Amino acid sequence: MIRTILGAIETGVLAQVGLLAFVTAFVAILIYAFTLRKSERIDAKNLPLSDGSPVNHNQA
């Protein structure tokens, strides 16, 4: 079915391979994102705010 749909668009084989590679990568990224542990999600969430140095909140 997908072959007939992609064939009707009249694109080359290379475009079909590229589309298949994109869809495969997208599904793999979704699976990776939904199978992360909570600690890994928290680390990734705070990554843009972290510069790598420890924070000491008790400085006066």
Instruction: Judge whether 6 lies within some domain.
Output: yes
Instruction: Judge whether 44 lies within some domain.
Output: no
Residue type, 6: L
Note down the domain range covering 13: 2-38
Q: How many domains does the chain have?
A: 1
Instruction: Judge whether 50 lies within some domain.
Output: no
Instruction: Judge whether 31 lies within some domain.
Output: yes
Instruction: Judge whether 54 lies within some domain.
Output: no
Q: Does the pLDDT value for residue 60 go beyond 60?
A: no
Nearest Cα neighbor of 17 from 28, 31, 3 is 3
Kindly report, residue by residue over 8-43, the tens digit of the pLDDT: 666 678 888 899 999 999 999 999 999 989 888 888
